[in-house]
Amino acid sequence: MNESVSHPDGATDAHRVNGGRLRIGCCSWTDKTMIDAWYPPSLKSAEGRLRYYAERFDTAEVDSSFYGLPSERNSALWVERTPPGFVFHIKAFAMLTRHAVKPEQLPAALRSAYDLEIDRAGRVIHPPTELREEVFGMFSSALTPLREAGKLGVVLLQFPPYFVANAANRAYITHAAGLLAPDPVAVEFRHRSWVEPDELSRTLDLLARHGLTYVGVDEPRSETASTLPPLTAATAPIGYVRFHGRNMATWKARVASAAERFRYLYTDDELAEWVDPLRQLARETETTYAMFNNCYADYAPRNARQLSALLDQEE
Protein backbone atom coordinates (compact mmCIF):
# COMPACT_ATOMS: atom_id res chain seq x y z
CA MET A 1 0.00 0.00 0.00
CA ASN A 2 1.11 3.58 -0.57
CA GLU A 3 1.54 5.92 2.35
CA SER A 4 1.11 9.66 2.04
CA VAL A 5 1.23 12.80 4.14
CA SER A 6 -1.87 14.94 3.73
CA HIS A 7 -2.49 18.68 3.60
CA PRO A 8 -5.66 20.10 5.15
CA ASP A 9 -7.52 20.04 1.82
CA GLY A 10 -6.57 16.46 1.02
CA ALA A 11 -3.66 17.04 -1.33
CA THR A 12 -0.48 15.18 -0.51
CA ASP A 13 3.14 15.91 0.20
CA ALA A 14 4.60 12.66 -1.05
CA HIS A 15 3.40 9.14 -1.67
CA ARG A 16 5.87 6.51 -0.50
CA VAL A 17 6.11 3.46 -2.73
CA ASN A 18 8.45 0.71 -1.56
CA GLY A 19 11.11 3.17 -0.46
CA GLY A 20 10.67 5.60 -3.33
CA ARG A 21 8.66 8.82 -3.25
CA LEU A 22 6.03 10.12 -5.60
CA ARG A 23 5.24 13.84 -5.51
CA ILE A 24 2.46 15.58 -7.41
CA GLY A 25 2.18 19.20 -8.53
CA CYS A 26 1.30 21.65 -11.29
CA CYS A 27 3.39 23.10 -14.10
CA SER A 28 2.31 26.63 -13.23
CA TRP A 29 0.68 28.46 -10.37
CA THR A 30 0.38 31.81 -12.16
CA ASP A 31 -1.71 31.27 -15.30
CA LYS A 32 -4.43 33.92 -15.52
CA THR A 33 -7.23 31.40 -16.00
CA MET A 34 -5.95 29.46 -12.99
CA ILE A 35 -5.81 32.63 -10.90
CA ASP A 36 -9.41 33.44 -11.83
CA ALA A 37 -10.78 29.94 -11.23
CA TRP A 38 -8.77 28.39 -8.41
CA TYR A 39 -7.52 31.02 -5.98
CA PRO A 40 -9.80 32.79 -3.50
CA PRO A 41 -10.74 36.25 -4.83
CA SER A 42 -9.18 37.81 -1.72
CA LEU A 43 -5.70 36.73 -2.86
CA LYS A 44 -4.43 39.65 -4.94
CA SER A 45 -0.65 39.32 -4.63
CA ALA A 46 1.89 36.99 -6.23
CA GLU A 47 3.20 36.22 -2.75
CA GLY A 48 -0.23 35.28 -1.44
CA ARG A 49 -0.96 33.00 -4.36
CA LEU A 50 2.33 31.13 -4.09
CA ARG A 51 1.84 30.66 -0.36
CA TYR A 52 -1.68 29.36 -1.01
CA TYR A 53 -0.39 26.95 -3.65
CA ALA A 54 2.42 25.74 -1.37
CA GLU A 55 -0.08 24.91 1.37
CA ARG A 56 -1.67 22.43 -1.02
CA PHE A 57 1.22 21.06 -3.07
CA ASP A 58 4.88 20.56 -2.27
CA THR A 59 6.30 20.93 -5.78
CA ALA A 60 5.78 23.19 -8.79
CA GLU A 61 7.21 23.76 -12.22
CA VAL A 62 8.27 27.23 -13.35
CA ASP A 63 7.35 27.82 -16.99
CA SER A 64 7.97 31.58 -17.18
CA SER A 65 11.70 30.78 -17.41
CA PHE A 66 11.08 29.36 -20.89
CA TYR A 67 10.00 32.77 -22.20
CA GLY A 68 12.60 34.89 -20.43
CA LEU A 69 15.68 34.27 -18.33
CA PRO A 70 14.85 33.83 -14.64
CA SER A 71 16.27 36.26 -12.10
CA GLU A 72 18.13 35.59 -8.90
CA ARG A 73 15.73 37.95 -7.12
CA ASN A 74 12.69 35.88 -8.10
CA SER A 75 14.46 32.69 -7.09
CA ALA A 76 15.10 34.20 -3.67
CA LEU A 77 11.46 35.23 -3.34
CA TRP A 78 10.30 31.73 -4.24
CA VAL A 79 12.55 30.37 -1.50
CA GLU A 80 11.15 32.80 1.07
CA ARG A 81 7.52 32.15 0.17
CA THR A 82 7.54 28.36 0.37
CA PRO A 83 8.03 25.98 3.30
CA PRO A 84 11.07 23.76 3.85
CA GLY A 85 11.11 20.81 1.49
CA PHE A 86 9.22 22.53 -1.29
CA VAL A 87 10.78 21.82 -4.70
CA PHE A 88 10.78 23.95 -7.86
CA HIS A 89 11.53 22.55 -11.31
CA ILE A 90 12.73 25.14 -13.79
CA LYS A 91 11.92 24.95 -17.49
CA ALA A 92 14.99 25.92 -19.48
CA PHE A 93 14.97 29.20 -21.40
CA ALA A 94 13.96 28.65 -25.03
CA MET A 95 17.39 29.38 -26.52
CA LEU A 96 18.92 26.62 -24.40
CA THR A 97 16.71 24.03 -26.09
CA ARG A 98 17.17 25.27 -29.65
CA HIS A 99 13.86 27.11 -29.80
CA ALA A 100 13.69 30.40 -31.67
CA VAL A 101 13.64 33.54 -29.52
CA LYS A 102 13.11 37.18 -30.29
CA PRO A 103 15.87 39.67 -29.41
CA GLU A 104 13.71 41.30 -26.72
CA GLN A 105 13.69 38.02 -24.82
CA LEU A 106 17.42 38.45 -24.25
CA PRO A 107 18.95 40.86 -21.73
CA ALA A 108 19.86 44.21 -23.26
CA ALA A 109 23.55 43.65 -22.56
CA LEU A 110 23.55 40.52 -24.70
CA ARG A 111 21.60 42.14 -27.51
CA SER A 112 24.22 44.87 -27.80
CA ALA A 113 27.21 42.56 -27.38
CA TYR A 114 26.46 40.30 -30.34
CA ASP A 115 25.66 40.81 -34.01
CA LEU A 116 22.40 38.86 -34.07
CA GLU A 117 21.09 37.23 -37.22
CA ILE A 118 17.32 37.77 -37.45
CA ASP A 119 14.83 35.94 -39.67
CA ARG A 120 11.70 37.33 -41.36
CA ALA A 121 9.64 36.62 -38.24
CA GLY A 122 12.00 38.71 -36.13
CA ARG A 123 13.58 35.75 -34.39
CA VAL A 124 17.24 35.10 -33.63
CA ILE A 125 18.63 32.34 -35.82
CA HIS A 126 22.02 30.65 -35.69
CA PRO A 127 23.04 32.28 -32.38
CA PRO A 128 26.82 32.21 -31.86
CA THR A 129 28.07 29.43 -29.62
CA GLU A 130 29.54 32.02 -27.26
CA LEU A 131 26.15 33.72 -26.91
CA ARG A 132 24.30 30.51 -26.18
CA GLU A 133 26.88 29.48 -23.58
CA GLU A 134 26.70 32.89 -21.94
CA VAL A 135 22.94 32.48 -21.72
CA PHE A 136 23.43 29.06 -20.12
CA GLY A 137 25.65 30.71 -17.51
CA MET A 138 23.14 33.46 -16.75
CA PHE A 139 20.32 30.95 -16.48
CA SER A 140 22.26 28.74 -14.08
CA SER A 141 23.41 31.66 -11.94
CA ALA A 142 19.83 32.85 -11.46
CA LEU A 143 18.96 29.55 -9.77
CA THR A 144 21.56 30.00 -7.01
CA PRO A 145 19.09 30.82 -4.20
CA LEU A 146 17.00 27.75 -5.01
CA ARG A 147 20.09 25.56 -5.20
CA GLU A 148 21.48 26.84 -1.90
CA ALA A 149 18.14 26.35 -0.16
CA GLY A 150 17.79 22.77 -1.40
CA LYS A 151 14.64 23.72 -3.31
CA LEU A 152 15.86 23.10 -6.86
CA GLY A 153 14.50 19.94 -8.43
CA VAL A 154 15.32 19.46 -12.11
CA VAL A 155 16.09 21.77 -14.97
CA LEU A 156 13.66 20.72 -17.68
CA LEU A 157 15.05 20.65 -21.21
CA GLN A 158 11.97 20.50 -23.43
CA PHE A 159 13.16 20.16 -26.99
CA PRO A 160 11.05 21.32 -29.96
CA PRO A 161 9.25 19.05 -32.45
CA TYR A 162 11.97 19.65 -35.04
CA PHE A 163 14.68 18.35 -32.69
CA VAL A 164 14.87 14.85 -34.17
CA ALA A 165 16.92 11.84 -33.13
CA ASN A 166 20.34 12.08 -34.75
CA ALA A 167 24.00 12.17 -33.75
CA ALA A 168 24.27 15.96 -33.67
CA ASN A 169 21.27 16.33 -31.40
CA ARG A 170 22.41 13.55 -29.09
CA ALA A 171 25.69 15.45 -28.74
CA TYR A 172 23.82 18.66 -28.01
CA ILE A 173 21.88 17.02 -25.16
CA THR A 174 25.08 15.98 -23.40
CA HIS A 175 26.67 19.38 -24.08
CA ALA A 176 23.69 21.22 -22.59
CA ALA A 177 23.60 18.96 -19.55
CA GLY A 178 27.30 19.59 -19.01
CA LEU A 179 26.74 23.34 -19.03
CA LEU A 180 24.00 22.93 -16.41
CA ALA A 181 26.01 20.62 -14.15
CA PRO A 182 25.77 19.79 -11.34
CA ASP A 183 22.02 20.48 -11.39
CA PRO A 184 19.80 17.49 -12.23
CA VAL A 185 18.52 17.66 -15.80
CA ALA A 186 15.34 16.16 -17.24
CA VAL A 187 14.84 15.78 -20.99
CA GLU A 188 11.48 15.97 -22.73
CA PHE A 189 11.23 15.13 -26.41
CA ARG A 190 8.55 16.41 -28.76
CA HIS A 191 9.48 14.28 -31.78
CA ARG A 192 8.51 10.63 -31.90
CA SER A 193 11.78 9.57 -33.57
CA TRP A 194 13.43 9.45 -30.13
CA VAL A 195 11.18 6.62 -28.95
CA GLU A 196 10.64 4.63 -32.13
CA PRO A 197 11.46 0.91 -31.65
CA ASP A 198 14.80 1.15 -33.45
CA GLU A 199 15.86 4.25 -31.47
CA LEU A 200 14.38 3.89 -27.98
CA SER A 201 17.18 1.85 -26.42
CA ARG A 202 19.79 4.28 -27.75
CA THR A 203 17.83 7.22 -26.35
CA LEU A 204 17.43 5.69 -22.91
CA ASP A 205 21.04 4.50 -22.83
CA LEU A 206 22.23 8.01 -23.64
CA LEU A 207 20.20 9.52 -20.82
CA ALA A 208 21.14 6.84 -18.31
CA ARG A 209 24.83 7.08 -19.16
CA HIS A 210 24.81 10.78 -18.31
CA GLY A 211 22.39 10.57 -15.36
CA LEU A 212 19.63 12.48 -17.17
CA THR A 213 15.94 11.97 -16.47
CA TYR A 214 13.65 10.77 -19.24
CA VAL A 215 10.44 12.78 -19.08
CA GLY A 216 7.38 10.63 -19.63
CA VAL A 217 4.38 12.40 -21.12
CA ASP A 218 0.65 12.02 -21.33
CA GLU A 219 -0.58 13.87 -24.40
CA PRO A 220 -2.97 13.34 -27.31
CA ARG A 221 -3.03 9.72 -28.41
CA SER A 222 -1.95 10.01 -32.02
CA GLU A 223 0.62 8.54 -34.37
CA THR A 224 1.78 11.98 -35.54
CA ALA A 225 5.46 12.85 -35.32
CA SER A 226 4.83 15.49 -32.66
CA THR A 227 3.09 13.19 -30.17
CA LEU A 228 4.79 10.57 -28.03
CA PRO A 229 3.35 7.42 -26.47
CA PRO A 230 2.82 7.20 -22.68
CA LEU A 231 6.21 5.73 -21.87
CA THR A 232 8.04 5.80 -18.54
CA ALA A 233 11.68 4.90 -17.92
CA ALA A 234 14.00 5.22 -14.93
CA THR A 235 17.22 6.67 -16.35
CA ALA A 236 18.27 8.72 -13.29
CA PRO A 237 17.53 8.96 -9.55
CA ILE A 238 14.64 11.33 -10.37
CA GLY A 239 11.60 10.20 -12.37
CA TYR A 240 9.39 12.74 -14.11
CA VAL A 241 6.03 12.61 -15.90
CA ARG A 242 4.18 15.59 -17.38
CA PHE A 243 0.45 15.56 -18.06
CA HIS A 244 -0.30 17.77 -21.06
CA GLY A 245 -3.91 16.71 -21.63
CA ARG A 246 -5.26 14.95 -24.70
CA ASN A 247 -6.68 17.82 -26.70
CA MET A 248 -5.54 16.98 -30.23
CA ALA A 249 -7.56 19.87 -31.69
CA THR A 250 -5.29 22.45 -30.04
CA TRP A 251 -2.03 20.48 -29.96
CA LYS A 252 -0.52 22.19 -32.99
CA ALA A 253 -3.09 24.93 -33.54
CA ARG A 254 -2.44 28.65 -33.22
CA VAL A 255 -3.95 29.47 -29.85
CA ALA A 256 -3.92 32.52 -27.60
CA SER A 257 -1.97 30.92 -24.76
CA ALA A 258 -0.37 27.75 -23.47
CA ALA A 259 -3.39 27.29 -21.20
CA GLU A 260 -5.63 27.08 -24.26
CA ARG A 261 -3.32 24.54 -25.90
CA PHE A 262 -3.46 22.24 -22.89
CA ARG A 263 -7.11 22.84 -22.05
CA TYR A 264 -8.14 19.34 -21.05
CA LEU A 265 -9.68 17.87 -17.90
CA TYR A 266 -8.72 14.24 -17.26
CA THR A 267 -11.30 11.73 -16.10
CA ASP A 268 -10.68 9.36 -13.21
CA ASP A 269 -10.41 6.48 -15.68
CA GLU A 270 -7.75 8.29 -17.70
CA LEU A 271 -5.71 9.08 -14.60
CA ALA A 272 -6.12 5.51 -13.35
CA GLU A 273 -4.16 4.37 -16.41
CA TRP A 274 -1.12 6.00 -14.81
CA VAL A 275 -1.35 4.57 -11.30
CA ASP A 276 0.64 1.40 -11.94
CA PRO A 277 3.28 3.03 -14.23
CA LEU A 278 3.85 5.80 -11.69
CA ARG A 279 4.13 3.35 -8.81
CA GLN A 280 6.63 1.31 -10.80
CA LEU A 281 8.67 4.39 -11.70
CA ALA A 282 8.67 5.45 -8.05
CA ARG A 283 10.01 2.03 -7.05
CA GLU A 284 12.89 2.44 -9.48
CA THR A 285 13.85 6.01 -8.52
CA GLU A 286 14.54 7.98 -5.38
CA THR A 287 11.77 10.48 -6.18
CA THR A 288 9.28 10.62 -9.02
CA TYR A 289 7.31 13.75 -9.90
CA ALA A 290 3.91 13.75 -11.61
CA MET A 291 3.32 17.27 -12.92
CA PHE A 292 0.11 18.57 -14.48
CA ASN A 293 0.55 20.97 -17.38
CA ASN A 294 -3.17 21.33 -18.16
CA CYS A 295 -3.11 24.66 -16.35
CA TYR A 296 -6.42 26.00 -17.67
CA ALA A 297 -8.79 27.22 -14.94
CA ASP A 298 -8.60 24.76 -12.02
CA TYR A 299 -7.93 21.71 -14.22
CA ALA A 300 -4.34 21.06 -13.09
CA PRO A 301 -4.88 21.25 -9.31
CA ARG A 302 -8.17 19.35 -9.63
CA ASN A 303 -6.56 16.52 -11.59
CA ALA A 304 -3.57 16.50 -9.25
CA ARG A 305 -5.89 15.89 -6.31
CA GLN A 306 -7.71 13.18 -8.28
CA LEU A 307 -4.45 11.38 -9.05
CA SER A 308 -3.41 11.65 -5.43
CA ALA A 309 -6.67 10.03 -4.31
CA LEU A 310 -6.21 7.21 -6.81
CA LEU A 311 -2.68 6.57 -5.57
CA ASP A 312 -3.95 6.43 -2.00
CA GLN A 313 -6.09 3.44 -2.83
CA GLU A 314 -4.69 -0.01 -2.11
CA GLU A 315 -2.85 -1.78 -4.88
Q: Is the pLDDT of residue 248 over 90?
A: no
pTM reported for the whole predicted model? 0.93
Strand segments, DSSP code E, in 134-212 are 152-158, 185-188
Q: Is the pLDDT of residue 311 over 70?
A: yes
Phi, psi dihedral angles at 302 (to 5 degrees): -65, -45
Mean pLDDT, residues 151-177: 98
Phi-psi region of 185 (alpha: psi -120 to 50; beta: other; left: phi over 0): beta
> Cβ atoms within 10 A of the Cβ of 73, count?
10
pLDDT one-digit tens code per residue, 50-81: 999 999 999 999 999 999 999 999 999 999 99
Separation of alpha carbons 305 and 315, rounded Å:
18
Instruction: Yes or no: say if 86 and 55 are a contact pair by the CB < 8 Å rule.
Output: no
Q: Where are the domains of the chain?
A: 3-98+130-312
Q: Is the pLDDT of residue 2 over 70?
A: no
Q: Is the pLDDT of residue 17 over 70?
A: no
Separation of alpha carbons 56 and 34, rounded Å:
15
Separation of alpha carbons 194 and 288, rounded Å:
22
Cα–chain center distance at 177: 15
Residue from 20, 58, 91 nearest 234 by CA: 20
As a residue count, the chain comes to 315
pLDDT one-digit tens code per residue, 141-150: 999 999 999 9
- Homologous superfamily of 3-98+130-312: Protein of unknown function UPF0759 (3.20.20.410)
Average pLDDT score, the chain: 92
In eight-state DSSP terms, residue 101 is B
pLDDT value of position 12 = 47
Q: Is the pLDDT of residue 196 over 70?
A: yes
